Amino acid sequence: MLLHVSENKEVAKGIWEMHLSGDFPFENVQPGQFIHILIGSGREHVLRRPISIAAIEAEKETLVIVFRVVGEGTDWLAKRVEGDVLDVLGPLGTGFPLTTKQKILIVGGGIGVPPLYELIKRLWQQGNEIYCLLGFRNSDDVFWVEKFKEYGTVTTYTDDGSFGEKGLVTQRIAEDFLEKNWSNVYACGPVPMLKELKGIVANFSVEGYFSLEERMACGVGACYGCVCNNQRVCVEGPVFPMREVVL
Amino acid sequence: MQVDFAGIKLKNPVMPASGCFGYGKEYAKYYDLSELGAIIVKATTVSPRLGNPTPRVAEVCAGMLNSIGLANPGVDQVVKKELPWLRQFELPIIVNVAGDTVEDYCFVTEKLCQSGLVDAIELNVSCPNVEQGGMAFGVDAGVLAELTTAVKKVCSVPLIVKLSPNVSDIVQIAQAAEAAGADALSLINTLVGMKIDLMSRKPILARGVGGLSGPAIKSVAVRMVYQVYKAVKIPILGVGGITTGLDAIEFIMAGATAVSVGTANFTDPYACPRIIKEIKAYMEKEGIKDLSEIRGCAHVLS
The candidate with the shortest Cα–Cα distance to A13, out of A158, A199, A141, A190, is A141
Cβ-contact B211, B284 below 8 angstroms: no
Separation CA A33–CA A25 (nearest Å): 12
Taking CB atoms and an 8 Å cutoff, what residues of chain A touch B22?
221-224
Domain ranges of chain B: 3-52+69-192+214-293
Separation CA A27–CA A68 (nearest Å): 26
pLDDT of residue A246: 86
pLDDT in tens, chain B (302 residues): 999 999 999 999 999 999 999 999 999 999 999 999 999 999 999 999 999 999 999 999 999 999 999 999 999 999 999 999 999 999 999 999 999 999 999 999 999 999 999 999 999 998 777 767 777 888 999 999 999 999 999 999 999 999 999 999 999 999 999 999 999 999 999 999 999 999 999 999 999 999 999 999 999 999 999 999 999 999 999 999 999 999 999 999 999 999 999 999 999 999 999 999 999 999 999 999 999 999 999 997 64
The verdict on B51 touching A (C-beta cutoff 8 Å) is: yes
Taking CB atoms and an 8 Å cutoff, what residues of chain A touch B265?
218, 222
Hey, are the CB atoms on A48 and B263 less than 8 Å from each other?
no
Separation CA B276–CA B282 (nearest Å): 10
Taking CB atoms and an 8 Å cutoff, what residues of chain A touch B215?
43, 46
- Among the partner-chain residues A46, A89, A230, the one whose CB lies closest to the CB of B269 is A89
Tell me how close the Cα of A25 comes to any Cα of chain B, in angstroms.
Answer: 15
CATH 3.40.640.10 for the B3-52+69-192+214-293 domain, yes or no? no
Radius of gyration of chain B (CA): 18
Q: State CA A242 to chain mean position distance.
A: 15
Report helix, strand or coil for B119. Answer: coil
pLDDT of residue A81: 98
Separation CA B20–CA B40 (nearest Å): 9
pLDDT of residue A247: 83
DSSP string for A86-98: EEEEEEESB-PPP
Report helix, strand or coil for A178. Answer: helix
Average pLDDT estimate for A169-189? 93
Hey, are the CB atoms on A217 and B64 less than 8 Å from each other?
yes
Substitution target from A216, A218, A232 for chain B, most B beta carbons within 10 A: A218
The verdict on A101 touching B (C-beta cutoff 8 Å) is: no
Minimum Cα–Cα distance from A227: chain B residue? B54
Antiparallel, parallel or unpaired: β A62-68 and A49-57: antiparallel
Cβ-contact A110, A238 below 8 angstroms: no
Residue A16, φ and ψ in degrees, nearest 5: -115, 145
The verdict on B64 touching A (C-beta cutoff 8 Å) is: yes
Which fold does the domain A103-213 belong to in CATH? Rossmann fold (3.40.50)
Tell me how close the Cα of A1 comes to any Cα of chain B, in angstroms.
Answer: 11
Tell me how close the Cα of A183 comes to any Cα of chain B, in angstroms.
Answer: 32
The candidate with the shortest Cα–Cα distance to A228, out of B56, B48, B204, B21, is B56
The candidate with the shortest Cα–Cα distance to A15, out of A151, A144, A172, A118, is A144
Average pLDDT estimate for A99-115? 96
The pLDDT of residue A27 is above 60: yes
What is the domain class of A2-92 according to CATH? Answer: mainly beta
Q: Is residue B297 annotated as part of the catalytic site, yes or no? A: no
Domain ranges of chain A: 2-92, 103-213
The alpha helices in chain A, defined as continuous H runs, are: 72-78, 115-125, 145-149, 173-180, 191-201
pLDDT of residue B29: 96
Helix (H) or strand (E) holding A5: strand A2-12
The candidate with the shortest Cα–Cα distance to A219, out of B60, B129, B53, B30, is B30
Report helix, strand or coil for B69. Answer: coil
The verdict on B141 touching A (C-beta cutoff 8 Å) is: no
Hey, are the CB atoms on A215 and B204 less than 8 Å from each other?
yes
The verdict on A224 touching B (C-beta cutoff 8 Å) is: yes
Helix (H) or strand (E) holding B219: helix B218-231
Taking CB atoms and an 8 Å cutoff, what residues of chain A touch B66?
217, 223, 225
pLDDT of residue B301: 61
CB atoms within 10 A of CB B102: 17
Separation CA B137–CA B102 (nearest Å): 9
The verdict on A191 touching B (C-beta cutoff 8 Å) is: no
The pLDDT of residue A133 is above 60: yes
Which candidate in B106, B127, B155, B272 is catalytic?
A: B127
- Among the partner-chain residues A44, A215, A221, the one whose CB lies closest to the CB of B26 is A221
The pLDDT of residue A7 is above 70: yes
